């Protein structure tokens, strides 16, 4: 079988061991990146196709008559037309639980940066204010402790659960919001998100992006949070309405936000959250998942998915 990896550069920057791919299949065409107009030619003879963020619509899938399996080098499958793959009977398998440690440490890197006012103090040092100080330390930006804070978690899968455990290690009180899935109604005794928001010091998002969760955190829900509360989003950019978040931070209604994901990515230069005047915003370029160990785990997940398919027992099937 021949495999094609369309965008290896999104996972490997020359620092990973590619042996898992070679263990899974003997023949690979590895492309660092693939433009839309290059897809059809590159996948024409593919039997196994791996993509991270390259979009595969009906036309692309039709251009690969020998295709037997699609693997995503990620958990999300928004970039693949699952109706078209199902029509062809092509299984789509994703990578799961490969970046838990990386994401959770990033959640707390964002949170700790906000509560310690790390960015503000580093800016003071660069501006020479510590050297000019008449005392041994600077105390211009109030510092808070995580211990005793109330953390609300939306989405209680592997990442949400791991975030909760880490929060408890910091002495935080953790409450999980009720499930947003329609089939959970009446069977979930956890508090509804709208009821929980006014009680929180920190809100951390770990749910998938669906039609139901698009702009889940909008102006109405931001208004329910207290003026010194913090928002953390390492899940999907579309969960938060960006203009509403920017306004909440500018007005001082929200104490701060740590954001690793936006919509779209990469963001245009005029994206609302890239404005230089937004206070107490820590923005990172979708790197919560990107520890080297996590990226290596992605390749191991791809290997396991291919080997399971070849053995006749596919795993991590999203659609077929």
Query: Where in the sequence numbering do the catalytic residues fall?
Result: 236, 265, 286
Distance, in Å, from the CA atom of 315 to the CA atom of 19, rounded to the nearest integer, reads 20
Distance, in Å, from the CA atom of 19 to the CA atom of 62, rounded to the nearest integer, reads 30
* Residue appearing with tokens 């989003």: 233
Distance, in Å, from the CA atom of 172 to the CA atom of 196, rounded to the nearest integer, reads 16
Distance, in Å, from the CA atom of 187 to the CA atom of 256, rounded to the nearest integer, reads 33
Query: Positive or negative, the Cα torsion across 143, 149, 155, 160?
Result: positive
Distance, in Å, from the CA atom of 198 to the CA atom of 195, rounded to the nearest integer, reads 7
237 and 245 Cβ atoms separated by less than 8 Å = no
And the tokens for 155? Answer: 């989405």
């Amino acid at each position: 079988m021949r495999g094609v990896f369309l965008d290896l550069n999104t996972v490997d920057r020359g620092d990973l061991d590619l042996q898992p791919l070679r263990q899974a299949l003997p023949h690979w065409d590895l492309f660092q990146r693939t433009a839309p107009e290059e897809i059809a030619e590159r996948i024409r003879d593919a039997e196994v196709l791996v993509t991270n963020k390259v979009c595969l619509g009906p036309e692309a899938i039709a251009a690969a008559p020998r295709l037997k399996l699609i693997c995503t080098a990620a958990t999300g499958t928004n970039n693949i037309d699952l109706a078209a793959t199902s029509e062809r009977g092509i299984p789509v398998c994703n990578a799961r639980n490969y970046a838990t440690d990386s994401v959770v440490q990033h959640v707390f890197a964002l949170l700790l940066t906000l509560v310690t006012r790390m960015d503000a103090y580093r800016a003071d040092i660069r501006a020479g204010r510590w050297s000019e100080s008449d005392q041994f330390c600077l105390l211009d930006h109030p510092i808070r402790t995580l211990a005793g804070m109330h953390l609300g978690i939306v989405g209680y899968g592997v990442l949400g659960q791991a975030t909760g455990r880490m929060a408890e290690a910091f002495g935080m009180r953790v409450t999980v919001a009720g499930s947003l899935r329609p089939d959970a109604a009446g069977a979930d005794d956890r508090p509804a998100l709208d009821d929980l928001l006014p009680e929180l010091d920190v809100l951390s998002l770990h749910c998938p992006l669906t039609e139901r969760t698009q702009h889940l955190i909008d102006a109405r829900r931001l208004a329910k949070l207290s003026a010194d509360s913090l928002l953390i989003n390492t899940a999907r950019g579309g969960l938060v309405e960006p203009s509403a978040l920017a306004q909440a931070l500018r007005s001082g209604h929200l104490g701060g936000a740590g954001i690793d994901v936006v919509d779209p990515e990469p963001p245009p230069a005029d994206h609302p959250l890239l404005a230089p005047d937004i206070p107490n915003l820590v923005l990172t370029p979708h790197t919560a998942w990107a520890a080297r160990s996590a990226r290596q785990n992605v390749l191991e997940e791809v290997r396991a998915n291919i080997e399971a398919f070849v053995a006749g027992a596919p795993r991590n099937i999203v659609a077929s």
